[in-house]
């Protein structure tokens, strides 16, 4: 515990939006290496600056090898040892707590006894029905994503402001970093590395082998690998389990539809992929014919080729879920026309088009789809997000904003 205090204070933290209040407890979940631990460091360092001392806090990282063999019944030792070091009631920061089987009962007891608790974990078992029932509404779940574009710029010593775009140098710097972000993603530890691809390969292997294959005892790793490659090549298209099964069978691999369903669920549990459903489908079709996006663009760059348009759309999908939530807040629409994204609570419809003015047919397809959707569903804002084009137009009496993705991502929410 004393070692952890010095370690946390030494960490250099890029400030991120926490969206957390002082009056409740939180469980931070998300893909491996998304920066959950650093968000705990950020909160602890903020506490220290505000005069809350280590006498009032406990930080434990349950991936520390010195804690190997620790079990749920041992967790109360944290409070006992802190009681030796301090007379104050502690605020607890429990990092990667899913490594302790039965941790949720300890967490519930802490909440019941009015302790302030922050918890992180990398596995969606922490969101399972059993755990949610045990925690009984005592904690708020927060999804932690890799860096957004603003955070990526900040990590690279570039603070975005509207004035920075008024100079050629400022605009070119933002666009250069956006291109990096688009192709290599926003995993925090890789943001400033020169060898980004090597880092991404390491992270992906840990997710693929550790969080999915090993955890679920999957022997047919070739089929699993092929599934993710095909999903990376198909991020812009609805992908049914039947279609995915048939695609994998063309590689000569014997795999059942039920196995495919399990593999996709495992990938969702590891926060590797994020499903988006068709709001025009019935319930059964929504569950079996989703679009699948990857949690970070860098993973797609590892798995697929010729993917510029896919990277642009994937980036928008992740940003929408970062802003509005992963719990069925973001949809696509496909019924006679197709619109890439629709957010009902915001009455927002979005098309993603790398170059919408490339041909008259492309422009007509994108704008007609938005206008037809607006005649069927509530749409207060219509967007076409592009690589670089910008404009505001009126089509069939409706205003459509054409905005570069990087500029939209830097908008004030």
DSSP line for 81-122: HHHHH-SSPPEEEEETGGGSTTHHHHHHHHHHTT--EEEEES
Tokens representing residue 408 in the block: 């939209």
Distance CA(377)–CA(330), nearest Å, equals 14
- How many other CB atoms sit within 10 Å of the CB of residue 15? 12
Contact call for residues 241 and 261 (beta carbons, < 8 A): yes
Query: 57: which strand partners?
Result: 91
Helical (H) or strand (E) element with 28: strand 25-29
Helical (H) or strand (E) element with 141: strand 139-143
For residues 220-229, one letter each, b for 16 or more C-beta atoms within 10 angstroms of the residue's C-beta and e for the rest, the string is eeebbebbbb
pLDDT for 165 equals: 67
Residue range 21-30, pLDDT digits in tens: 777 899 998 9
Mean per-residue pLDDT, 31-35: 93
Domains within the chain, CATH numbers bracketed: 2-143 (3.40.50.300), 189-409 (1.10.10.10)
**Owner of token pair 């301090």:** 86
Residue 37, phi then psi, degrees to nearest 5: -60, -40
- pLDDT-derived band at 109 (thresholds 50, 70, 90) equals very high
Strands 381-386 and 348-352, bridge-based pairing: parallel
Tokens representing residue 241 in the block: 């389990």
Mean per-residue pLDDT, 232-251: 92
pLDDT for 127 equals: 62
Mean per-residue pLDDT, 80-106: 93
Contact call for residues 46 and 17 (beta carbons, < 8 A): no
378 pLDDT more than 70: yes
Tokens representing residue 364 in the block: 């007509």
Mean pLDDT of the chain: 92
Strand extents, DSSP E, 223-307? 239-240, 273-278, 289-294
Positive/negative CA dihedral, 203, 98, 4, 140: positive
**Owner of token pair 């992740």:** 318
- pLDDT-derived band at 338 (thresholds 50, 70, 90) equals very high
Helix (H, G, I), strand (E, B) or coil at 32: coil
Q: Which of 19-28, 102-111, 394-403 has the lowest mean pLDDT?
A: 19-28
- pLDDT-derived band at 128 (thresholds 50, 70, 90) equals low
129 pLDDT more than 70: no
pLDDT greater at residue 69 or residue 125:
69
Q: Which residues contact 124 (CB under 8 A, 6 or more apart)?
A: 29, 268, 269, 270, 271
Angle at 182 between CA 177 and CA 187, to 5 degrees: 85
**Owner of token pair 């755990």:** 131
| Residue 201: CA count within 13 A, CB half-sphere | 4
Nearest residue to 405 via CA among 341, 330, 331, 328:
341
Residue 25 CA: distances (Å) to CA of 44, 126, 189, 204, 357: 14, 15, 27, 30, 49
Q: What percent of the chain has pLDDT over 90?
A: 77
Helical (H) or strand (E) element with 301: helix 297-303
Distance CA(216)–CA(111), nearest Å, equals 31
pLDDT for 253 equals: 83
pLDDT for 162 equals: 62
Helix (H, G, I), strand (E, B) or coil at 275: strand
pLDDT for 124 equals: 61
Residue range 190-220, pLDDT digits in tens: 999 999 999 999 999 999 998 899 989 999 9
Residue 162 CA: distances (Å) to CA of 155, 170, 310: 18, 10, 28
Mean per-residue pLDDT, 318-336: 93
- pLDDT-derived band at 141 (thresholds 50, 70, 90) equals confident
- pLDDT-derived band at 154 (thresholds 50, 70, 90) equals very high
pLDDT for 23 equals: 73
pTM for the predicted model, two decimal places:
0.93
- pLDDT-derived band at 163 (thresholds 50, 70, 90) equals low
Query: 401: which strand partners?
Result: 383, 392
Residue range 288-313, pLDDT digits in tens: 889 999 999 999 999 999 899 999 99
DSSP line for 58-86: EEEETT-GGGTT--GGGTTHHHHHHHHH-
pLDDT greater at residue 202 or residue 286:
202
* Residue 200 burial by Cβ neighbours in a 10 Å radius (0-12, 13-18, 19+): buried
Q: What percent of the chain has pLDDT over 70?
A: 96
- How many other CB atoms sit within 10 Å of the CB of residue 346? 16
Query: 226: which strand partners?
Result: none
Nearest residue to 20 via CA among 112, 117, 121:
117
């Amino acid at each position: 515990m004393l070692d952890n205090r010095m370690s946390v204070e030494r960490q250099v933290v890029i400030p991120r939006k926490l969206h957390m209040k002082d009056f409740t407890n939180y469980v931070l979940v998300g893909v491996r290496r998304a920066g959950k631990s650093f968000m705990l460091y950020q909160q602890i360092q903020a506490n220290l600056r505000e005069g809350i001392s280590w006498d009032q806090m406990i930080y434990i990282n349950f991936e520390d090898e010195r804690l190997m063999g620790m079990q749920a019944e041992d967790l109360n030792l944290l409070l006992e040892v802190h009681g030796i070091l301090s007379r104050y009631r502690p605020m607890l920061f429990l990092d990667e707590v899913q490594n302790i089987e039965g941790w949720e009962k300890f967490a519930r007891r802490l909440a019941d006894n009015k302790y302030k608790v922050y918890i992180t974990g990398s596995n969606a078992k922490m969101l399972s029905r059993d755990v949610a029932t045990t925690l009984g509404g005592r904690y708020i779940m927060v999804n932690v994503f890799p860096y957004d574009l603003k955070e990526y710029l900040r990590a690279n010593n570039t603070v975005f402001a509207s004035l920075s775009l008024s100079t050629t140098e400022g605009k070119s710097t933002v666009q250069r970093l956006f291109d990096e972000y688009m192709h290599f993603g926003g995993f925090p530890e890789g943001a400033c590395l020169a060898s980004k691809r090597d880092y991404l390969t390491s992270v992906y292997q840990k997710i693929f082998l550790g969080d999915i294959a090993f955890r679920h005892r999957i022997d047919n790793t070739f089929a699993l690998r092929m599934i993710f490659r095909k999903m990376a090549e198909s991020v812009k298209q609805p992908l049914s389990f039947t279609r995915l099964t048939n695609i994998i069978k063309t590689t000569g691999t014997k795999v059942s539809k039920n196995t495919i369903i399990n593999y996709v669920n495992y990938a969702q549990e590891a926060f590797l992929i994020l499903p988006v459903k068709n709001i025009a489908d019935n319930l059964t079709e929504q569950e079996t014919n989703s679009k699948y996006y990857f949690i970070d663009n860098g993973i797609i760059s590892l798995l697929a080729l010729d993917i510029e348009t896919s990277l642009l759309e994937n980036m928008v999908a992740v940003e929408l879920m970062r802003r509005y939530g992963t719990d069925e807040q973001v949809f696509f629409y496909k019924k006679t026309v197709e619109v890439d994204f629709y957010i009902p609570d915001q009455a927002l419809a979005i098309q993603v088009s790398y170059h919408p003015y490339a041909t008259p047919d492309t422009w007509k397809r994108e704008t007609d789809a938005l206008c037809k959707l607006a005649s069927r569903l509530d749409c207060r804002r219509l967007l076409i997000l592009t690589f670089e084009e910008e404009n505001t137009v009126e089509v069939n009496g409706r205003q459509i904003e054409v905005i570069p993705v990087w500029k939209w991502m830097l908008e004030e929410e």
